[in-house]
Structure 1
Amino acid sequence: MKIRILGNSLRFRLRQPEVSSFRQTGVVTEVTQFGPEPSQKLSFILAVSSDPELSVSFEAGTTTVHVPKQLAEEWTSTDQVGFDGTVNTGQGQKIEVLVEKDFVCLDRPEEEQIGAYPNPNAIC
């Protein structure tokens, strides 16, 4: 899973195996370990939720994006590229969330692209 953070926005891009795993298990995780201690990591989780709205939580170095079950099922079982939403985090703060399928980059080495979706722009 690729993660981009810019201000109060999160963008997750998932390759085909990650989308498949998310569909089957309801969760996909990406971890960056900064040191030898278990607490020295930053984790991002995309998880299916029974809540009706997209939401975000942050606890102990872990950001979790909670995706309503119906939205997750629709996204993982169709050609829908992605979904987005604005999450109110309280006291007037908001986070923009974008989750999408990761397409092959047309200008990157092939070994970096394993598992990516075929890029529709690659077809003439």
Structure 2
Amino acid sequence: MKVRILANTLRFRLRQPEVQQFQQQGKVTETTAFGPDPAQQLHFCLEVTSGPELTVCYQSNTATIGVPRHLAEEWTGTALVGLEGKVDTGKGQVIEVLVEKDFVCLDRPEEENSGAYPNPKGVC
């Protein structure tokens, strides 16, 4: 999973195996280890929820985007590229959320593209 954070925008990009895992297990997690201790690890999680809207949560060093089941099924079972929404975190603050299928980068080495979806711009 690729994670991009810019101010109050959180973007997750998943490769094909990660989308399949999300479809089958309802959850996929990426970890960045700043050290060997669990307290030194930052986790990013995408999980299916029973609620009606996208959600965000930060707890115990884990940033989680919750995706309603009906949206998760549509996203994983069709050619739909991404899901997006704005989540009110309280007191007038909003986090913009974007969850996308990751496409092959046309200007990157092949090993960096492993598992990515074919890029529609790469076809003549």
1:100 aligns with 2:96: no
The match for 1:62 is: 62
- Corresponding residue pairs, total: 124
TM-score normalised per structure 2? 0.99
In the alignment, the residues of structure 2 paired with residue 51 and residue 80 of structure 1 have an alpha-carbon distance, to the nearest angstrom, of 20
TM-score normalised per structure 1? 0.99
1:87 aligns with 2:87: yes
Extract structure 1 runs of 4+ deviating beyond 6 A: none
Quote how far apart the aligned CAs of 1:78 are: 0.2
In structure 2, the gaps of 5 or more residues are none
Deviations 1:16-75 (A, max 9, x none): 000000000000000001112111110000000001111101011101111000000000
In structure 1, the gaps of 5 or more residues are none
Q: What do you get for the CA RMSD once the two structures are aligned?
A: 0.5
